[in-house]
């Protein structure tokens, strides 16, 4: 009986230790941009240490339309991008300090917020512009992620409802990729593959989607 009791206690301690060790692995880094008048007007990205990520955005479908367009998407970031995000979060002390430059007469480019949370610490920092190089780099990463995911969102809409618009969207996406490699294109690979396989899409657009799917990408390195 005593031996069984000691064994049960040992199991409890082992389980508790395992949970305590696992807490850092449940860490998340988040980014939000609130910029009324832009498209999207608001978006948020949450990346877990495992690489699992969640994206949400909202805003008008176009500058002429008053129709709201809410978009949510779950995806997985590459190991290189995940590592870069968490390394940069560490360099900024997990956003536990003021990172805004507080420069006067600085153009407003949206309220940005970086956040961090794990089993041991939390941090959140809001800014318009930051002189912290790690914050600048994180901002670029998250904005690039949003750009790729919004391309995928528009392509999905166009393929379903206005296939002729696909040509212009894919052309613009390909031109953008020539200047700066797109970040995490694999996150929207399913919609690109659907376009490639869709006989109702003109060949030029299908070829562009194929090139984008195989184009060099920014892997966060």
What does the pLDDT read at residue 161? 94
Query: Which residues lie across from 75 on neighbouring strands?
Result: 53
CA distances from 47 to 86, 90, 141, 212 (A): 9, 14, 12, 24
Residue matched to tokens 């850092």 = 24
Peptide bond into 24 cis (omega under 30): no
pTM across the whole model: 0.84
Cβ proximity of 90 and 83 under 8 Å = no
Residue matched to tokens 């590459």 = 78
- Going from N- to C-terminal start, the domains of the chain cover 25-214
pLDDT in tens, the chain (221 residues): 444 434 444 444 444 444 444 444 689 999 999 999 999 999 999 999 999 999 999 986 554 545 678 999 999 999 999 999 999 999 999 999 999 999 988 999 999 999 999 999 999 999 999 999 999 999 999 999 999 999 999 999 999 999 999 999 999 999 999 998 899 999 999 999 999 999 999 999 999 999 999 866 555 55
**Which tokens go with 149?**
């995911």
What does the pLDDT read at residue 219? 53
CA distances from 133 to 35, 129, 136, 139, 192 (A): 22, 11, 5, 10, 34
**Which tokens go with 130?**
């930051």
Question: What's the CA gap between 57 and 47, in Å, rounded?
Answer: 15
What does the pLDDT read at residue 59? 84
**Which tokens go with 29?**
């880094």
């Amino acid at each position: 009986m005593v031996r069984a009791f000691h064994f049960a206690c040992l199991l409890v301690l082992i389980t508790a230790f395992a949970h305590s060790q696992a807490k850092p692995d449940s860490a998340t880094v988040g980014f939000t941009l609130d910029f009324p008048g832009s498209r999207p007007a608001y978006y948020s990205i949450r990346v877990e240490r495992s690489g699992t990520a969640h994206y949400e955005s909202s805003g008008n479908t176009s500058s002429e339309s008053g129709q709201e367009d809410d978009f949510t998407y779950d995806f997985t970031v590459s190991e290189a991008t995940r590592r870069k995000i968490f390394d940069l979060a560490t360099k900024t002390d997990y956003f536990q300090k003021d990172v805004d430059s507080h420069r006067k007469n600085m153009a407003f480019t949206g309220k940005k917020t970086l956040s961090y949370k794990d089993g041991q610490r939390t941090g959140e920092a809001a800014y318009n512009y930051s002189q912290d190089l790690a914050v600048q780099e994180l901002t670029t990463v998250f904005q690039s992620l949003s750009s790729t995911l919004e391309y995928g969102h528009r392509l999905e809409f166009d393929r379903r409802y206005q296939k002729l618009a696909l040509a212009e969207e894919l052309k613009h996406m390909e031109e953008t990729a020539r200047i700066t490699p797109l970040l995490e294109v694999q996150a929207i690979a399913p919609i690109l593959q659907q376009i490639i396989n869709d006989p109702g899409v003109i060949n030029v657009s299908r070829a562009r989607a194929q090139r984008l799917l195989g184009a060099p990408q920014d892997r966060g390195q």
